[in-house]
Amino acid sequence: MNDVTELTSVDWNALLEMVKTSGVDFGLKLIVALIIFYVGRLVARMLVNGIQRIMQAQEVDKILETFVGNLVYWTLMVFVIIAAINHIGIETTSLIAVMGAAGLAVGLALQGSLSNFAAGVLIVVFRPYRVGDFVEAAGISGVVEQVQILTTILKTGDNKQIIVPNNQIIGSIITNYSANDTRRVDMTIGVSYDDDLDKVRATIQALIDADPRIHKDPEPAIVVSALSDSSVNFTVRTWVNTGDYWGVKFDLTEAVKKRFDQEGISFPFPQQDVHLYNKS
């Protein structure tokens, strides 16, 4: 009986010692793996920052800089994670094989993400817009802030951040309002049939001449475009710098109203004549 008790005690002591040794060994490996991960992430970020500085020195487009930076960072992080896992003792060869097999299934399940990535590459290559451009795409209007691997980030005029999948942008009509240096301001101004058309034209021309933001070339156009039911419509077309578009449009609209009031030029309201017949 004493022999059995002594043997059992020895076995438990040996098992406890083995657990302690294994735990300490695994703990040390885990600590080193975490250090590998932390240092690897730090090095990856330093390399990406270096690449971005080089691209900035070469005046590479901001979209390409951000896209390449994100792509390089996550590619390096995959190797860092594999190295950390390998140090713990997990066989990465079989893990990579399993990941490769699972990657096919995941790829089929994430076709939308892959198409977003491909669309991001197309945006970087063909550059339909740049960071800072005001665009309308996928039904959203805003200023381009970033083009990431899968999405494009837009900031709307009321300061909302909109994240749009790249494939929706590539699959839609893209209107880039900032692509050209100049834009045309189109306005339709209706006046009464009783007003002097030459006076109206001269008044509008004087307002245009007084605004230095409006280009003289191409020459502004002031033409009678329609004889509508209640008014004679003038179409006014002027060219301005792209950045002055909204300022000129708003200011000219207000100036026309004030000057027309001073000159006695009327803005007719929609009206309808009703004729009553007495059949008594």
- Tokens (6 digits) for 203: 């008044």
Q: What is the mean pLDDT of residues 207-213?
A: 95
**CATH class of the 128-176 domain in this structure:** mainly beta
Percent of the chain residues past pLDDT 90, beyond the cut: 42
The number of beta carbons lying within 10 Å of the beta carbon of residue 172 is: 14
- Residue 119 pLDDT > 90: no
Q: How far apart (Å, rounded) are the C-alpha atoms in residues 51 and 43?
A: 12
Full-prediction pTM beyond 0.85? no
The residue ranges of every structural domain in the chain are 2-109, 128-176, 182-263
**CATH class of the 2-109 domain in this structure:** mainly alpha
Region 182-263: CATH code: 3.30.70.100
pLDDT digits over 34-47, tens only? 888 888 888 888 88
